[in-house]
Structure 1
Amino acid sequence: MSHRPPSSITKEFILKFNQTRNPKEKEQLLSIAKRHILRCQRKLGLRTLGYGEHVNLPTAWTEVIYLAQCKGDIQDEALSMLYASLDHASLDYEQLPVLFFVAESILYRFCCDASQKTYLYLVELKLSKIGYLVFLRLFVFFICGYLEKFEQNLLRLQPYSHALSLSGASYGKYPSVFSNIQFILSVMNIIFKQEISGLSFNPDHNKKLYNTDSDMKQSEFNQRGYKVNHLLWHSVAAWSCVQKNSPQLNKVLKHLIFYKIQFQRSYWLDSALTLMVLGDAAKLNMTCLKALMDLMRDFLSSIISDKSQEENDKVDDFSWAWNIVYMYITVLTEISLYAATSNVRKTALIGFCDCKSSQKITLSMDKSEEQPKLMEMSILGLLDYFSSKLSDNCDHVVWTGYYALVHNMVKMLWELRRNEEQDGFRNKIWRVLQQIKDQDQYGVAHNAINIAQAEVHGPIDPFTTYSRSSSSNVVEDTFCKYIGWRVANTLSKLFFPYIGPHVLHINKGSLKQKQMRYLAKKDSMRKRTLHFTLRDHSLAAEFPLFSYPDFFTKADEELTRIIDHHWQEQLKIQEKEDAIFAANKHNDKEFQEANHWREIMKRREEKLHKKTKPYELPSRIEVISLGKKKHTTLLNCDLYARNSLHESEHDSCMLGRICSH
């Protein structure tokens, strides 16, 4: 499938955006790129978890990959959007062509751009997380059997495998990046070995849950296709029981612990998926959290102990174990942040012990003291254990575990920075980190803290000299919140397909018989090996990846519709009541104003003896009478003046006559 950039995001636009020096032209291009960013946000459905009529994930992922080639804030926002979308988007068969395109783009950036840089940049952290999510989705699609028609796409990815395998020297100091790269390489090796080599998939395996002729030491790969081990199968069964609140959960977890030896297989991808699925179930159920911790305690005890190291001919047999340790710590951190109850979050951080000693912060850096035993598999319990074994020449598992704990605790502080309800939780982590800084003898904590702070704050925009602006509209999550649920839900639909509505009418006897298919006795399960192969692709078109909703899902939807209907009716009633209340309030206000005006006029009439309003002119009759009064007054004044003048003239004449005589 050929991918061409959208009409506005062309190669010329990207080159012009990165090379222009004209400030005015740069501002215009930046404005165009921001409009594309906003359009991609809507197509990705970042606010609706990838749902809605406006969402078009294949197109949006393609546009975002092209926008990520623009330097500066546009690249940073595009990668953040892509990471968030790959985390919460559902798994759909139509996404496969674009997923291969995104995978090839990410591998190209790693092998061609990142390898030429001397230092670690922020873009490499983001590219590694995006690559992890892309190849995780490809691996799930591979288990579902949807990659047979994409051999050409796989061949395009094959040249990057060798180049990426040589990156250990560059990223070995940074487990947060190197673990994602190792996951990508492992997925490519498995897919290439099975798909490109032309191995056929036997649909008969779908009719069986166990193979009585298999041995527990048998490799998980053979000429019949990829087989899912017991551990992953039971973890998905436990997740389904938690989602459906099934009483069979304890039995499923009991069988899951029975197959804990499969956790030590060199093909560790099934173990990684087990941690992810069981960790998502532990966010809702304390029993699943205990089972998860028990699995990891047995794994660490067998890997780190001297006895287990001596029993192995080669130490390199467990060179992959640090990947499991890092993934477990990441899953445990997500549980402590996003679990449904505070009790589960507290247990993931502190442990199951309720004694006061577990509340104290103890880091055993002094090797003269008695080293603590591996008791609590919580964050603080592992921190105490790994710190006691940390040295200049410590085991790689110990070094990785200690680094991962410090790295994830710094990101936890960033994630909890605006959650006022968990201030105590945050203060606890902050005090632990302060003590770690004071006792950092080997520089591991200092390196982990610097990388984590750069990841959450992002002070530098990688591969460029641009500084990252804090005005980004994309809220990037430091951890994956939804991909665990997406993977578990997809695998549950694959392992336990929907049978039909008649399941609700099955009697208890037949229901127990069907449940005992995977809850058999221990002695019989020791001789069996559970392996799932891909479905027959001739029937794949008849059965979608996600089954039809069951009775309870339909009932929930109907209940939601009824609640919405009554809510709309209530809103209409409320609007009518608000309108009546507003009208009554308006009438009361007018009545009060009228009463107030009457009181003013009454007081004016009492003082001035006038009944007119202050701004009202007198009537026409009053004006005429007033004019007549003024005219009469003027006439009287004129007559008086004339009489006075005649009298003065008469007196003057008389005075003249007297003087002449």
Structure 2
Amino acid sequence: MPILKVPVVHKFGIISHSQRLELQQRLIRQSYNEPQESDKRQSYTNPLEVSEQFVHKYNASGIQEKEHLRDRADKMIQRSKRRCGYSTYGEGDHVDLPLAWSELAILAQCKGKLQEDCFDILCTTLDQAPLHEENIPTLFFLAESALYWLRTDILKQAFLRAAEVKLLKMAQLVFSRLLFHHLSGHLRGLAEFKTRLNTYLDGIKEHQSSYQCYPGVWLCVRFISRVGEIIIGPYATKTVSKDDVNESVPALAACVFRALCLWKCVSTTNIGVKRAIVEMLLASQELSNNDWVDGYVAISILAEASKISSPALSCLQDLARGVRVTQTSEGRFETTIDHFPPPPINTAPETAPTRSGTDLHPPAPATSDKDDLGKKIEEEMKGMMEDINQTMGQSNEEITFISESAHTVSVEQLNNSIHQLGIKQSAGNNQSPTFGIGSWCWETGYQYSQILADICLNAGTTDIMKVALLGKWQDADVTTFRAGAANPCVESCALVDMLEYRGAQPRGDIVEHMKKVDWTWKLRYGALSAVSKLVHALQGNEMKHGSRSAAWSLMLAVQESPVSESRVLEAIRVAQVEFVNININNNPTTSVWKRIAESLSEIYLLPPPPPPPASRSGRVGPRNTPSPRKPRTPRSVKISRPTIKEELLIHTSVENTNPEFNARTSLDLNRVIADQWRKEVMRQQNKEDDERIKEMKREREEEEIRDREILEKRKEKLKGRPTANLAPYQI
């Protein structure tokens, strides 16, 4: 086989070796970049895709360009709003919560009104969305983002801003969900997330003092800080490693566990409610512990039970009033009330200056002695206590649980089961117990005022709404309410009572007493904030016009009172920022605490027992003779006529609005389709009628032909006879 020698041709002429290498590298680089450029030209990017570049462009643009970008940003928000299930409570095939929350967190970096809109959507979806374990990484991302914004941008500002309030509300909901996952044991082993969260939480405690003038915002910061410490746990120290930590499922506090039991009884079978209420009252001391997060969670779960059950709401208000139930040596339950509790445990140092003696409100005169008041309050629960003592049949050695299966459990077995379920006992049982809202931490008392407003908005019946707002003063004229007289919240503890709560009745030196109860202004601030929330949230709601009028009268009375403090009246301005964007037409049927109660009850509580099977005995009982029927008397039918106001509302309820273009076109299209369908049906009916007529004619002709043939055959047979020409059957 011949060997061919291919000549080497220098196409670029005579060049040096270094120039040739440089030329080859340039050609290789050019051939490498050409496919990438072609790929860029062929690739398509969604113009509504959320990215960091859009955020930087939006913040750096001018006023005119920002208006053009705002339309594009609104479309992005609508996509994320649908993706997070804003109108379907976070459920559906179109919902992708991790992606939607991440996009809203990125868009929240845009300054101005766009940032507040993103925070509003995040607050709504975080309050309504279901609790799924796959959302934990996104929740950590939101928590870290909120803490980063809080440390870099928010804390440097001199005044409280609307975006700051909404950011803290969003962060509070995020940490509430993380607290649930912590109690459920879903955060075990997430050392990287906890270590990174500890880095962002470092230094938050030092900035809490800047929010002391606004207890609602201050509570959000304290909740974030405290729950963050609980979640991080042993990872707070930087020297600890993942292998050295042995994480386990945390224990529930006794008050939280008994609140779950009450919620379970109320929301499922309604069996054992009295027993659950008594157990909750027995655990009232747990609400006064140093760890205020347990009391915060317990009353939040009780609020969800109070929305659907009036006895649960009475139990919640009895806990705030100081009603306590004790068990005697004979095994019976007795109820008393603590009228003069000591000041609560200080959970944070107060740096605010004390007010001068000229601004102090003089106390109201004492009503009666302690024992006399106790007798009046004991009569309210006497009937319930007697029913419980009769039905339970207790002794010193065993406790009978009221259930369909009627099991008997000893005290030792009860303690063992509580230990197995992971319920932690209070460490302060040996001390003298104190009860009532005066013994709670101010964080728990503030949350109590907020959940009363939530009950007024979302309760199942109007009676529950009235009790939450007015307590035992339901029949009183709210328009005549005048603020100024101190209310110890002993006879009733509703929102109207908390507006004037100034602690227990003074005994001894008034100046010392006012120094001890100076913290109560935070509870008055919370009550006024809750009333303002009702005023803004019920605006335009004709069904709850009476509740809004009552709340408006209470707010005006506090504003016009000469003893109202300026720091308390500041709650009205802050409430306008928090609740002005609430949509009353989309009344939420669920909340984050309702979902937490449902999930925790499935984890820590046993399912309700099945109903007992029907007895099928073979014995036949005596036959009952039917009693003679009584003559039925006709009942008078009373015709109810609407009032003049109702008739006006009926005629003015429907507004004459012009339909939009899409609605008009869809109506026209439906009209054309209906007309074509009608014509097609008529054409088919006419065609069937014609075919039916033709068939009848053909049958008639065939019958006539058959008759003629019969006649011809007969003539042939009778040919030559006299009856041959007669028709058949012719006489």
Find out whether 1:504 has 2:538 as its counterpart. no
Match of 1:76 in 2: 116
Q: Partner amino acid for 1:349?
A: L
**Aligned residues between the structures:** 469
Match of 2:533 in 1: 411
Is contact 1:77-1:474 (8 Å) kept? no
Is contact 2:449-2:495 (8 Å) kept? yes
Matches of 1:57 and 1:414, distance apart in 2: 29
Question: Which residue, 7, 11, 15 being the options, matches 2:52?
Answer: 11
Match of 1:552 in 2: none
CA distance 1:195–1:387, change in 2 (3 Å): closer
* Unaligned 5+ runs, structure 2: 1-45, 325-335, 351-427, 429-437, 616-669, 683-731
Matches of 2:345 and 2:211, distance apart in 1: 30
Matches of 1:283 and 1:84, distance apart in 2: 19
Tell me whether 238-247 or 353-362 shows the greater mean CA deviation.
Answer: 353-362
Match of 1:343 in 2: 463
Give secondary structure in 2 for the equivalent of 1:347. helix
Deviation, 1:319, is 10
Q: Partner amino acid for 2:246?
A: S
CA distance 1:151–1:303, change in 2 (3 Å): farther
Larger fraction in helix: 1
Deviation digits for residues 224-262 of structure 1 (CA, Å, limit 9, x no counterpart):
x63212211111111111111322111111111111111
Is contact 2:302-2:316 (8 Å) kept? yes
Is contact 2:457-2:534 (8 Å) kept? yes
Give secondary structure in 1 for the equivalent of 2:203. helix
Scaled by the length of structure 1, the TM-score of the pair is 0.64
Find out whether 1:402 has 2:524 as its counterpart. yes
Aligned 1:312-323 pairs, distance under 5 A: 321-323=441-443
Matches of 2:585 and 2:494, distance apart in 1: 26
Deviation, 1:9, is 2.7
Question: Which residue, 86, 91, 99 being the options, matches 1:46?
Answer: 86
Matches of 2:347 and 2:597, distance apart in 1: 36
Aligned 1:429-578 pairs, distance under 5 A: 429-441=551-563, 442-457=565-580, 482-496=591-605, 504=610
Q: Partner amino acid for 1:69?
A: Q
Aligned 1:197-212 pairs, distance under 5 A: 199-201=245-247
Matches of 1:389 and 1:583, distance apart in 2: 81
CA distance 1:324–1:77, change in 2 (3 Å): same
Question: Which residue, 203, 212, 229 being the options, matches 1:163?
Answer: 203
Matches of 1:479 and 1:389, distance apart in 2: 40
Matches of 1:476 and 1:110, distance apart in 2: 32
Find out whether 1:257 has 2:281 as its counterpart. yes
Aligned 1:224-263 pairs, distance under 5 A: 226-263=250-287
Deviation, 1:312, is 11
Match of 2:33 in 1: none
Give secondary structure in 2 for the equivalent of 1:384. coil
Is contact 1:325-1:397 (8 Å) kept? no
Deviation digits for residues 99-145 of structure 1 (CA, Å, limit 9, x no counterpart):
00000000111111111000000011101111110000001000100
Find out whether 1:140 has 2:207 as its counterpart. no
Is contact 2:345-2:440 (8 Å) kept? no
Match of 1:384 in 2: 500
Deviation digits for residues 67-107 of structure 1 (CA, Å, limit 9, x no counterpart):
00112232121111111110000000000000000000001
Match of 1:628 in 2: none
Q: Partner amino acid for 1:243?
A: S
Question: Which residue, 440, 452, 469 being the options, matches 1:332?
Answer: 452
Matches of 1:92 and 1:144, distance apart in 2: 11
Is contact 2:541-2:584 (8 Å) kept? no
Match of 1:213 in 2: none
Scaled by the length of structure 2, the TM-score of the pair is 0.58
Deviation, 1:323, is 0.2
Is contact 2:478-2:550 (8 Å) kept? no
* Unaligned 5+ runs, structure 1: 203-224, 459-472, 510-574, 588-661
Match of 1:112 in 2: 152
Deviation, 1:320, is 7.7
Is contact 1:140-1:487 (8 Å) kept? yes
Matches of 1:138 and 1:399, distance apart in 2: 30
CA distance 1:242–1:275, change in 2 (3 Å): same
Matches of 1:101 and 1:424, distance apart in 2: 43
Aligned 1:167-206 pairs, distance under 5 A: 167-194=207-234, 199-201=245-247
Give secondary structure in 2 for the equivalent of 1:436. helix
Is contact 1:239-1:278 (8 Å) kept? yes
Q: Partner amino acid for 2:55?
A: I
Deviation, 1:478, is 11
Deviation, 1:358, is 8.2
Is contact 1:241-1:249 (8 Å) kept? yes
Cα root mean square deviation, aligned: 3.9
Match of 1:361 in 2: 481
Deviation, 1:56, is 0.2
Is contact 2:340-2:505 (8 Å) kept? no
Q: Partner amino acid for 1:428?
A: A
Matches of 1:42 and 1:56, distance apart in 2: 9
Deviation, 1:165, is 0.6
Matches of 1:498 and 1:307, distance apart in 2: 38
Q: What percent identity do the matched residue pairs reach?
A: 26
Matches of 2:579 and 2:592, distance apart in 1: 20
CA distance 1:314–1:38, change in 2 (3 Å): closer
Higher RCO (CA-CA < 8 Å; seq separation 6+): 1
Match of 2:342 in 1: 308
Deviation, 1:346, is 0.3
CA distance 1:415–1:304, change in 2 (3 Å): farther
Deviation, 1:505, is 6.2
